[in-house]
Amino acid sequence: MKTSETIGSLITALAAAQKSITNPQFDKVNPHFKSRYATLAAHLDAIRLPFAAEGLFIMQPISSDRDTITVTTRIAHKSGEWIEESATEPRPERCTIQQFGSICSYLRRYTLASMVSITGEDDLDGEEVVAPTRQHARYEPHPSQSATAKPAPAPAKAAPAPRPIETVEAVKEPARPSAPADKYPDNWEGKAVVLRVAERKGKPVAIQIDGEHGTAWITTDVPEFVTLAKDAGEGTLELSRVNGTLTIMRWRQPNVNVPAPTTELPF
């Protein structure tokens, strides 16, 4: 307990207030243990008038961190003298505001009651501490059973007979190469007009052209080819089919000769 440098006037006032302080009214019932207790409001009502008559007042600041919640109860006198006591409770993991408020209320009640020498609950001689353990440990047999009789074990269920599993080997068919969707040979060079340019995230740019074998989709990853497709709109192209898709290998225009990429670029 902490105190101010002098507490003579404070002790005199507390002694006078004690003459009219009584235990708070038990205004609540604990539904689990069926015991009565006094709320924080009842505690404050019990001391408010006696304290005011003697120049005393109560302060109960709250502090907390990641691990604990602390309430400090200070009884002060109009002379400036004071005494205080703190109580700390571990902070629950993932503490909600309801849990925080409940812990603060308990700590405020208990520290206030201990400092003013009053009680706000029935004295169960520790029954609230041991009762949950006793409830789990107790076993009462059915009246039809004797004190020493043991229930007969349930008959074991027969394991189901294993079902035969037939294994059939799947018939493997030879892979058939997919026919190209266009009429162009695997290697082609000629003039073509660009119809549209489709940029696809994470994939090569697709360009639709119209040439001597009709329309076809071709692909490229070369930025210069994409620029020519957008700006020029036509040119002389060298195409090769890579992994089933026509890929631009070279793009020729008047005064422009863009070399082929160093690697083949699949669709």
Contact by Cβ (8 Å): 246, 217: yes
Q: Is the pLDDT of residue 263 over 90?
A: no
Q: Helix/strand/coil (H, E, C) string of 94-139?
A: CCCHHHHHHHHHHHHHHHHHHHHCCCCECCCCCHHHHHHHHHHHCC
Which band of pLDDT confidence, cut at 50, 70 and 90, is reported for residue 138? very low
Which band of pLDDT confidence, cut at 50, 70 and 90, is reported for residue 232? confident
Two tokens, residue 55:
């120049």
- Residue 135: the pLDDT is 47
The stretch 60-69 carries a mean pLDDT of 94
Type of residue found at 238: E
Which band of pLDDT confidence, cut at 50, 70 and 90, is reported for residue 207? very high
Q: Which of 29-33, 75-79, 187-191 is predicted with the least confidence, judged by mean pLDDT?
A: 29-33
Which band of pLDDT confidence, cut at 50, 70 and 90, is reported for residue 157? confident
- Residue 252: the pLDDT is 82
For the beta carbon of residue 74, count every other beta carbon within 10 angstroms.
Answer: 18
Q: Which of 39-53, 146-160, 221-235 is predicted with the least confidence, judged by mean pLDDT?
A: 146-160
Buried/exposed 208-229: b ≥16 CB within 10 Å, e otherwise: bbebeeeebbbbbebeebbebb
Tens of pLDDT, residue by residue over 119-132, are 988 765 445 544 44
Q: Where are the domains of the chain?
A: 2-124, 187-258
Query: Comparing C-alpha atoms, which of 12, 10, 7, 15 is closest to residue 117?
Result: 15
- Residue 255: the pLDDT is 60
Q: State how far the Cα of 62 lies from the Cα of 65, in Å rounded to an integer.
A: 11
Instruction: Give the fold, CATH level 3, of 187-258.
Output: OB fold (Dihydrolipoamide Acetyltransferase, E2P) (2.40.50)
- Residue 139: the pLDDT is 46
Contact by Cβ (8 Å): 240, 246: yes
Most confident of the following: 34-48, 68-82, 157-171? 68-82
Q: What is the mean pLDDT of the chain?
A: 82
The stretch 160-189 carries a mean pLDDT of 72
Q: Is the pTM of this model over 0.75?
A: no
Classify 2-124 by CATH class: alpha beta
Which band of pLDDT confidence, cut at 50, 70 and 90, is reported for residue 98? very high
- Residue 200: the pLDDT is 82
